[in-house]
A and B are shown apart, each in its own frame.
Chain A
């Protein structure tokens, strides 16, 4: 939809004869992408994410490498027959395939938020799209470097440095994110007296960590042999911009920690008002960015230089779909041996079909240096074609497939993620008289679930399960309660803040309900709401 608006706008501008600058990578990576990723990281259901982390990483790393190599080699092989009209080299094709092989978080968010598939499916596709960019960018740089050097000049050391830079990019970024996250949490401990600036810190620090990672990335990679080669030859500014793409993953650990320390683990550090402000500003910024990105994509479809090569486009789309499917099936088969929740055939289909490409791929295609790769225009055009195909054809028909194949939908019992995050769902559910949903919030279930978690953690310890999920959770919880929270929060008495939070929310709902039913609770002038609640609860218990 947004794309169509963009195309229409582009046509209007085109007919008027105005020249519109395309989305520059600088604007994209510095101003458009961070809000979206911040939003995604901030609202990430972390329980779900960490329960599936191994699966997500396997898809993000192995899956993406497989896609890039397979698509690149196949395109090259097809190119050998001369069907594209001119000669293509292997590294050029690999460069192109590394651009279009990564699943894009913006597109996935836009489509998957709407279709409400079950949470495991959602988190795997979405988590993959968030984490695979480190792979993409390393591959991209590697192939760009190789193109420049020419195949005969590539030394074995270059392959190793490629692998090494992957670890630097991903682990270094995570580390920076964690440091900034902890720092922010620590600051938020001391901002309680100035509530107005409270909501600002998450944004400022999130963005700071993004920029720091950027600088770090630049210098960190510089030391590597092959990167250095390109660097001396390429124009510096362009290269600087390239590096930015990975950095959005750095923001994720920061935002995790931010949210955890803000509301999950210690709501005492930030006031309820500030919390709501942060949530709404995040959502608003992200939505705005997303809109602009798609509009700009539409505009540049109409305006840019294009070089349409039917066979190349067709084969790109074909290979993208086929290899994604193969990758998903093979990896799922291996992963299912270790997973409790088996990924069945239908889910695998949705996963391979939901591999949408989007704005990140487009921006990466735009920054290819035309002096090195003469076929740049063709690549840009093809990338746009692939994006259109995945977003329009796949994105629109996926809803249909979800219905036909009876994909387990997000059931009634799990409330939409947004509602939960905004904390309004309980009230809404109650208003809608959905007793069952309301009941889910009951403290008995919550307590039972905590008990179950501890049981499972204990059993995993007894049975000595290597890397058991529950076991890890238990250990982290212990570490968190013992060392981190006393340091980072004002009031660290409570080990299970969730229980208390839910409890007070329940009381609130009770009170509201009671008032609505015109109960006998009399609100006297000057009586505070909390006393009212307290009185009410006591009365309730005495019954």
Chain B
């Protein structure tokens, strides 16, 4: 409780935005974050929330300057809103997305940060139309974002074709989620897609 109060003072928030201990416990239950991590992320959340109504919009995210230069910035923001019903997400949803990136602990099974969920998040970066397949155009779009503008279309198309050829198991010229996972079979996704969140 003391922490919450001090947090409130530092952030200068309205009392309505205060994080209740029960809420912390619930989020801890659901996502596995420790209470101190939750409080830290909550202060970040309120910091991003310029309108002070307890939810974040896309614009709130895009105001982070470094996210704007991230080639996949838009898509990462988009992925946050997969959970949401409308164009705003609340703290619970925010935490649910972030919890995907918690390190995997062997003894504590948690649905949210499993290998599959991590891969699912990466897959969503490509799969914009949510049809569970990465088409050639979707792949090309991502390549474009990462590689930069002034490169010949032909070269990029070549790479995209080759990549699909490699990953495509059933010959439909698309990459399904299963095929996507099998190409990454030997990559240490658990470690690569985890952050040690600060306390």
Is B186 touching A443 in the complex (CB atoms < 8 A)?
no
- For residue A442, CB closer than 8 A to chain B, the reply is yes
Q: Quick one: which of B71, B98, B155 contacts A463, CB cutoff 8 A? A: B98
Is B122 touching A454 in the complex (CB atoms < 8 A)?
no
Is A339 touching B159 in the complex (CB atoms < 8 A)?
no
For B67-82 the 0/1 string (1 means CB < 8 A from A) is 1011111001000100
Q: Quick one: which of B44, B166, B184 contacts A443, CB cutoff 8 A? A: B166
Is B148 touching A413 in the complex (CB atoms < 8 A)?
no
Q: Quick one: which of B41, B66, B71, B155 contacts A500, CB cutoff 8 A? A: B155
Count of chain B residues with a beta carbon within 8 Å of a chain A beta carbon: 54
Is B155 touching A443 in the complex (CB atoms < 8 A)?
no
Is A506 touching B184 in the complex (CB atoms < 8 A)?
no
- For residue A157, CB closer than 8 A to chain B, the reply is no
Is A459 touching B192 in the complex (CB atoms < 8 A)?
no
Is A465 touching B151 in the complex (CB atoms < 8 A)?
no
Q: What residues of chain B lie closer than 8 Å to A523, measured between beta carbons?
A: none
Task: For chain A, residues 449 to 508, give those with C-beta under 8 angstroms from any C-beta of chain B.
Answer: 449-452, 454-466, 468, 470-471, 474-475, 478, 481, 493-496, 499-500, 503, 506
- For residue A445, CB closer than 8 A to chain B, the reply is yes
Is A471 touching B66 in the complex (CB atoms < 8 A)?
yes
Q: Quick one: which of A456, A468, A478, A494 contacts B151, CB cutoff 8 A? A: A494
Is A452 touching B76 in the complex (CB atoms < 8 A)?
no
Nearest B residue to A468, CB-CB: B195
Is B72 touching A458 in the complex (CB atoms < 8 A)?
yes
Task: For chain B, residues 157 to 199, give those with C-beta under 8 angstroms from any C-beta of chain A.
Answer: 158-159, 161-163, 165-167, 175, 180, 183-184, 186-187, 189, 191-198
> With the chains together, A471 CA to B155 CA distance in Å?
29
- For residue A448, CB closer than 8 A to chain B, the reply is yes
Q: What residues of chain A lie closer than 8 Å to B72, measured between beta carbons?
A: 451, 454-455, 458
- For residue A433, CB closer than 8 A to chain B, the reply is no
Q: Quick one: which of A449, A450, A462, A481 contacts B64, CB cutoff 8 A? A: A462
**Interface of chain A, main secondary structure:** helix
Q: How far is the CB of A420 from the nearest CB of chain B, in Å?
A: 15
- For residue B91, CB closer than 8 A to chain A, the reply is no
- For residue B2, CB closer than 8 A to chain A, the reply is no
Q: How far is the CB of A223 from the nearest CB of chain B, in Å?
A: 40
Is A451 touching B66 in the complex (CB atoms < 8 A)?
no
The stretch of B12-20, B21-29, B139-147 in contact with A is B139-147
Task: For chain B, residues 125 to 149, give those with C-beta under 8 angstroms from any C-beta of chain A.
Answer: 125-126, 139, 142-143, 146-148
Is A464 touching B66 in the complex (CB atoms < 8 A)?
no
Q: How far is the CB of A15 from the nearest CB of chain B, in Å?
A: 57
Q: Quick one: which of B41, B80, B146, B180 contacts A496, CB cutoff 8 A? A: B146
Given the contacts A442-B183, A454-B72, A493-B151, A461 and B66 also touching, CB distance less than 8 Å: yes
9 closest A-B pairs by beta carbon, nearest first, are A495-B148, A458-B76, A454-B72, A464-B44, A493-B150, A444-B167, A444-B163, A444-B183, A443-B163
- Would you mind naming 6 contact pairs between A and B with Cβ atoms under 8 Å apart? A443-B159, A444-B163, A448-B183, A461-B67, A463-B197, A506-B162
Contact surface of B with A, Cβ cutoff 8 Å: 41, 44, 47-48, 61, 64, 66-67, 69-73, 76, 80, 98, 101, 103, 121-122, 125-126, 139, 142-143, 146-148, 150-151, 155, 158-159, 161-163, 165-167, 175, 180, 183-184, 186-187, 189, 191-198
Contact surface of A with B, Cβ cutoff 8 Å: 338-341, 413, 436, 439-440, 442-445, 447-452, 454-466, 468, 470-471, 474-475, 478, 481, 493-496, 499-500, 503, 506, 537, 540-541
